[in-house]
Structure 1
């Protein structure tokens, strides 16, 4: 069944790709790029290179380009635009920069900008991700346009920067088209933007700050969160489980709407994965966790952290789930069906050896979300959908396996 669904998804992705366009154009440094650029040759990368991890929301496609920047005044800027894309993440296959030269990757509105020099030092320039091959990936920028600019005092026309690939994020319709998910919204979807609860549920709102969107290798999406007082993060094993996957992923904090129902998120704060510490044994129906750290930890410390419950929960315990279902801005699942109605509770605290169950609303992309009780401790790690028994791995069992690697407060 899983193989059949994967083939259907691959077919849908291939069909959808036929209607997509790309814009890539080299423009003079002083020229405005508000006018839609012309579209030169570009291709969707081969199917084998697309994101296809089982159980992870697919949120983008990989495309190949031939982009070159030189020191000549008319060759220092390129605009990579894919109309309607949710984000753009650029890969540099080579940088040939002199001391003092640098490259920036910015969103069209300039609100996001990442700087890279020949040394790729995260302490003095921007963060980035790697995939084990030559070159590196710039941090993603929100929206359908990335502006790549070479900053140099030299005037040679020699090639200085080569761009060979980029990921572009699917829009809302494409997310639905390319993902097959188990029904995990039980009856009416009662999730709301986290900001909707800032006044009515201030503690739940505040605890959600420690939860981030996880962009996996440019094309997959889950949820992740800080655990304990040191540089440690938790998510699901079925989201990332290797050092290369950690190094290739971004954690995006504060990706949430500014107003309730406003669909107006900012870019937030993005950091890359650093070190893989521990992965659970067994399959995705068991404890299903990955413990890792991030680069530039100081940049996210202000968002706070969460702590694991060290004892088992019980039936009827009130609970809530912050997360990035469908890759969307952070939402909170507090009520079962309607605002002010029945609160989410644990349906079965011993659904099986590893899991508790609940009917609190989730969806693809919520994998890795924390499940918190009214004391605001994490009682489970969400990882399986299927109403009325959405499931989370028992936190006290996870704690028993990682307690020597975290400071749980």
Structure 2
């Protein structure tokens, strides 16, 4: 969430994280969990390489490591683990595979698995992200362990891949320590897991499917969502605004709890950013939008889409907000303070030239969330916090600027 000039970083905590390490094993796959670590711990990358963007929630740190895969029998699997990490995102600085061979980056239980060969073809393999430097980033794996495995029937001793960096996700306590913001949960936090509303508010629940968690360049967090009938996504300009940032980011759909209050989300469906189409002019207090597309669009089409309102909303209009505040599994803000109590409404439909205001609960990470009315049209793009006037950029003004680039239904 954007809180200009109101956020402070906890440098001491960030530096303290340098003492934490990564377990890096180089072992046969069948013995991956039965041998002692053979490689040294990782190190926190220089501060200049860490993620930092004003108003964007920091959810991870970059670490360096000296790892590799080889064709030798004892070098075909490496376990990359950072105790307590929320996710692990592995970087290959080089991939030296023969035709027919591939590597996988998987969770220990195999629920998540990404496949890469020498051609890095998204049509035949898995998605990935890039950052303008040599190599590529595998898609992130949920949890604190990634299993990297070479698959080949060849017998030789040559090198197959080099792993030099990885992002590891902060836990809940670390996210709080590394991110300070003004109050944007107004009074009691009435947000609940989206699945809690599956029966009582089925349309709000269904519309939330088009909303995804945005992992920015491995270490930042916002919310993003599909807009219109084609391959188009919206988020805030202050979340990212360059082609390189789009190409380096992941959009995670269906990251939500399976049961109400269950703290049991699955990994969802992850795709990478593709093409940057348009960025708003002006500062982050104005329209503050970025329009872009994703790779592997067919993988997310089933989650549906949202449409922009083309006329101004009005004060008192009922509204709700789906999003990933604090990087949490998707939640819905429908009520102001208590379940079944006062519903969220627009407090001021003309807070200023660009924004409406509301006191519906949000928090860091909700930046980029859609604000929808009772007709389930997007009336604003959430981007500023500060009770009692959390703010969203007026959707009809955004529509006026991007109408030729989207199919708004």
Shorter-normalised TM range? over 0.9
> Aligned partners of 1:133 and 1:322: how far apart in 2?
35
After superposition, the Cα gap between the structure-2 partners of 1:39 and 1:398, relative to the gap in structure 1 and judged at 3 Å, is same
Structure 1, unmatched stretches of 5+, are none
Kindly indicate whether the alpha-carbon contact (under 8 Å) linking 1:324 and 1:366 is maintained by their aligned counterparts in 2: yes
What is the total number of aligned residue pairs between the two structures? 407
1:111-166 CA deviation, whole Å, 9 max, x = no partner? 00000000000000000000001000000000000000001122222211000000
The answer for the alignment partner of 1:270 in structure 2 is 270
> Aligned partners of 1:35 and 1:191: how far apart in 2?
44
The answer for the alignment partner of 2:247 in structure 1 is 247
Deviation at 1:31, TM superposition (A): 1.2
> Aligned partners of 1:124 and 1:297: how far apart in 2?
14
Deviation at 1:9, TM superposition (A): 3.0
Kindly indicate whether the alpha-carbon contact (under 8 Å) linking 1:10 and 1:47 is maintained by their aligned counterparts in 2: no
1:58-117 CA deviation, whole Å, 9 max, x = no partner? 000000000011001110000000010000000000000000010000011110000000
The answer for the alignment partner of 1:33 in structure 2 is 33
Kindly indicate whether the alpha-carbon contact (under 8 Å) linking 1:225 and 1:234 is maintained by their aligned counterparts in 2: yes
Kindly indicate whether the alpha-carbon contact (under 8 Å) linking 1:132 and 1:244 is maintained by their aligned counterparts in 2: yes
Structure 2, unmatched stretches of 5+, are none
Kindly indicate whether the alpha-carbon contact (under 8 Å) linking 1:22 and 1:39 is maintained by their aligned counterparts in 2: no
The answer for the alignment partner of 1:322 in structure 2 is 322
Q: Residues 146-295 of structure 1 correspond to what in structure 2 (within 5 A)? A: 146-295=146-295
Instruction: Point out the more displaced range, 152-161 or 81-90.
Output: 152-161
> Aligned partners of 2:10 and 2:286: how far apart in 1?
26
> Aligned partners of 1:83 and 1:12: how far apart in 2?
17
After superposition, the Cα gap between the structure-2 partners of 1:193 and 1:2, relative to the gap in structure 1 and judged at 3 Å, is closer
Deviation at 1:13, TM superposition (A): 1.1
After superposition, the Cα gap between the structure-2 partners of 1:39 and 1:328, relative to the gap in structure 1 and judged at 3 Å, is farther
Deviation at 1:336, TM superposition (A): 0.1
Deviation at 1:35, TM superposition (A): 7.4
Q: Residues 10-409 of structure 1 correspond to what in structure 2 (within 5 A)? A: 10-18=11-19, 20-33=20-33, 37=37, 40-409=40-409
> Aligned partners of 2:305 and 2:153: how far apart in 1?
44
After superposition, the Cα gap between the structure-2 partners of 1:288 and 1:3, relative to the gap in structure 1 and judged at 3 Å, is closer
For normalisation by structure 2, the TM-score amounts to 0.97
For normalisation by structure 1, the TM-score amounts to 0.97
After superposition, the Cα gap between the structure-2 partners of 1:343 and 1:181, relative to the gap in structure 1 and judged at 3 Å, is same
Deviation at 1:27, TM superposition (A): 1.0
After superposition, the Cα gap between the structure-2 partners of 1:349 and 1:35, relative to the gap in structure 1 and judged at 3 Å, is farther
Q: Where in structure 1 do 4 or more consecutive aligned residues deviate above 6 Å?
A: 1-4
1:274-331 CA deviation, whole Å, 9 max, x = no partner? 0000000001000000000000000000000000000000000000000000000000
> Aligned partners of 2:325 and 2:132: how far apart in 1?
29
